[in-house]
Structure 1
Amino acid sequence: MKAIKLLLLTVIFASVTFSCSKESLDTPIQGLNPSEYYQELNISYGSDDGQKFDLYLPKNRSTSTKVMILVHGGGWSGGDKVDMIGFKDIIRQDLSDVAIVNINYRLANDSRSPYPMQIDDITSVINHLKEHRDYYVISGDYGFFGVSAGAHLALLWSYAFDTGDDVNMVCSIVGPTNFTDPAYLNSTDPNIRALMDLYGVAASTEFLEEVSPYHRVTAAAPPTILFYGGQDPLIPTTQGTAMRERLQQLGVTHEFTLYENAGHGWLGLELLDTWSKLKIFTQTHL
């Protein structure tokens, strides 16, 4: 069984690191039956083609059923919710009582900045879930699970935009946390510069702090679990260690794991360790 799970997790991170949808099911005219499993793909929460999410509702759910929101990576300008399918599958297998929302958001390009556009999209998803809570038969308690740029968005929304105190936990896998980090500001790596430039060429320190979870976190932040790779070419180790120290300073419940020899993603036993820790953290806090 352990070997099967390890193989599944390896496939999951391989698809996420190196980045099918079925057709939507017909929506019942009257509310959903909570005793039955339900899924609906490509639910629109806005007018843009990128504003869609997939919904997976467990059977025998109630208004106490918690909701995990998956946020894909891709450097804010790429990626797709299909990249998170593997994570969706392992959550359904091991946390079968959790509802799952796998989101797309509008992607940044030369004419539209990721901020506040993508934060606004997460807000729209949350508002949609709240408005349809009774119809879906779910609770108003949410968790976030983000990878890379999606982890940055998950942290930032949870720390600075959760005005209803609805987020119970947030997970960051290799998520950027601090754009004022000298490892970013002084970098000459063209890949890092391209990512930074999405938030504005020569952006002010004030703005970079505004879009940094490190600078927006408060003592009221939800429990946070962080995973980083010591050899990540895109996310300096300080993005994780400084965030850990800030959470510790504020007294926020948190866990931190650094895989010293891993890069921007990992496989094998390290990935199995990630899921083992995340599963327990979710069961405890979501």
Structure 2
Amino acid sequence: MAITMQIFRIRFFILLSFSVLFYSCNNDTENPVVELEAIDILNESYGNTAENNMDVFLPAGRTTEETRLFIYIHGGAWVSGDKNEILAFRSLVESSFPGYAIISLNYSLLNLGTGTGQFPDQENDIIEAINYIVSKTEEWNVSNNIILAGASAGGHLALLHGYKHQEVGNIQAVLALFPPTDLNSLYGFNALTSQGLQVLLNGTPESNPDGYTESSPISFVTPNSIPTVFFHGTSDTVVPVSQSEILAEKLEENEVPFYFEAYPGEGHGLNFGPYAEVIQKAADFINQEL
């Protein structure tokens, strides 16, 4: 009788194990893990004006744990330009920063005729845009880890936000291409630059010193500043390479991790060939620092 009960128990547990295994396999078949498809969200509004919009390129297979954000700010001397600037090298970013979500921003532009769109409108737009992006991370299935990037005026805005408003968004590193960094010394570079900055900042460095200081990224570099990578052409006639050299000196003084490279003979807006190289070098530096 004892042997019979033992055999029964063995058969029962074998049957129970097969039932659990069958249910688990069947349940996995009914509820397979589905990888999210890539999605482009165009002209997503983040503010109250027509200029407050962005394009969002979400990669396939994204997750809130793994998918970092590459946020790009276009150039154009604060008076022109468009978020479509990213399209010229989006494929390069996707190649060097695989798996990242890419977001390209529009922001308020200065009207030289009317004077509307003066600073700090652009600075405030970047704050608003990043706060909006952070609020959408769960819906978009991305993390809140941000690489902030920009070219020319966009590089200036990326650096300014990264240093001055580091608490707004989880900014982990900043990439800047031929950026203005010290508006005090940039004023007077040429007549056109002086005129534009005078309208943008409602005065000169003498008449509005606080405005120039508060709008210059180098004013906010500290030992706690985020890792920075930037590139500049030595023959730039719009934003002189000295602007990046000043930033490099400031970062070095504060022992902030950075990588800077000047490209001999390149002007404002590198040729497409160097773009592939600098974006990969930026990715290599950022991956090393994160």
TM-score range, shorter chain: 0.7 to 0.9
Percent identical: 28
Distance verdict in 2 for CA 1:253–1:128, change over 3 Å: same
How many residue pairs get aligned? The number is: 251
Q: C-alpha distance in 2, partners of 1:280/1:82?
A: 25
Structure-to-structure mapping, 1:202-281, within 5 angstroms: 202=204, 203-267=207-271, 269-281=273-285
Q: C-alpha distance in 2, partners of 1:156/1:210?
A: 9
Q: Is the 8 A contact 2:131 2:169 kept in 1?
A: no
Q: Mean alpha-carbon deviation: is it higher for 73-82 or for 260-269? A: 260-269
Q: Mean alpha-carbon deviation: is it higher for 107-116 or for 211-220? A: 107-116
Aligned partner of residue 236 in structure 2, secondary structure: coil
TM-score scaled by structure 1? Answer: 0.82
Q: Is the 8 A contact 1:156 1:213 kept in 2?
A: yes
Q: Is the 8 A contact 1:76 1:114 kept in 2?
A: no
Q: Is the 8 A contact 1:113 1:199 kept in 2?
A: no
Q: C-alpha distance in 1, partners of 2:280/2:35?
A: 29
Q: C-alpha distance in 1, partners of 2:169/2:128?
A: 16
Question: Which whole-Å deviations, capped at 9, do the CAs of 1:45-75 have from their partners, x for residues lacking one?
Answer: 1121111101111111111211010100001
1:111 Cα deviation (Å)?
Answer: 3.1
Counterpart amino acid of residue 79 in structure 2:
S
Counterpart amino acid of residue 67 in structure 1:
L
Q: C-alpha distance in 2, partners of 1:121/1:87?
A: 24
Counterpart amino acid of residue 54 in structure 2:
F
Equivalent residue for 1:108? Answer: 110
Q: Mean alpha-carbon deviation: is it higher for 112-121 or for 66-75? A: 112-121
Question: Which whole-Å deviations, capped at 9, do the CAs of 1:94-148 have from their partners, x for residues lacking one?
Answer: 4231011111111111332442111111111111122121111111111111000
Which residue of the other structure, out of 160, 171, 175, is the alignment partner of 1:171? 175
Distance verdict in 2 for CA 1:218–1:201, change over 3 Å: same
1:165 Cα deviation (Å)?
Answer: 6.1
Equivalent residue for 1:38? Answer: 39
1:79 Cα deviation (Å)?
Answer: 0.3
Aligned partner of residue 279 in structure 1, secondary structure: helix
Q: C-alpha distance in 1, partners of 2:102/2:282?
A: 15
Counterpart amino acid of residue 89 in structure 2:
F
Distance verdict in 2 for CA 1:114–1:92, change over 3 Å: farther
1:86 Cα deviation (Å)?
Answer: 2.0
Counterpart amino acid of residue 89 in structure 1:
S
Mapped pair 1:56 → 2:46: no
Question: Which whole-Å deviations, capped at 9, do the CAs of 1:226-248 have from their partners, x for residues lacking one?
Answer: 11111111112220111001001
Structure-to-structure mapping, 1:61-76, within 5 angstroms: 61-64=62-65, 65-76=67-78
1:269 Cα deviation (Å)?
Answer: 4.6
Question: Which whole-Å deviations, capped at 9, do the CAs of 1:184-228 have from their partners, x for residues lacking one?
Answer: 3343x2221233122223242222111000111211111100111
Q: Mean alpha-carbon deviation: is it higher for 73-82 or for 59-68? A: 59-68
Q: C-alpha distance in 2, partners of 1:245/1:86?
A: 31
Q: C-alpha distance in 2, partners of 1:105/1:254?
A: 27
Equivalent residue for 2:187? Answer: 185
Q: Is the 8 A contact 1:34 1:62 kept in 2?
A: no
Q: C-alpha distance in 2, partners of 1:129/1:276?
A: 25
Distance verdict in 2 for CA 1:141–1:268, change over 3 Å: closer
Higher relative contact order (CA 8 A, sep 6+): 1
TM-score scaled by structure 2? Answer: 0.81
**CA RMSD, Structure 1 to Structure 2 (Å):** 1.8
Question: Which whole-Å deviations, capped at 9, do the CAs of 1:236-274 have from their partners, x for residues lacking one?
Answer: 222011100100110111000011211102225533431
Note the residue ranges of structure 2 that are not aligned, 5 or more in a row.
1-33
Q: Mean alpha-carbon deviation: is it higher for 248-257 or for 94-103? A: 94-103
Equivalent residue for 2:26? Answer: none
Structure number with bigger Rg: 2
1:157 Cα deviation (Å)?
Answer: 0.6
Q: C-alpha distance in 2, partners of 1:185/1:90?
A: 33
1:285 Cα deviation (Å)?
Answer: 4.0
Q: Mean alpha-carbon deviation: is it higher for 235-244 or for 195-204? A: 195-204
Q: Is the 8 A contact 2:228 2:258 kept in 1?
A: yes
Equivalent residue for 1:6? Answer: none
Q: C-alpha distance in 2, partners of 1:129/1:135?
A: 10
Structure-to-structure mapping, 1:136-151, within 5 angstroms: 136-151=140-155
Distance verdict in 2 for CA 1:136–1:147, change over 3 Å: same
Q: Is the 8 A contact 1:168 1:285 kept in 2?
A: no
Q: Mean alpha-carbon deviation: is it higher for 59-68 or for 193-202? A: 193-202
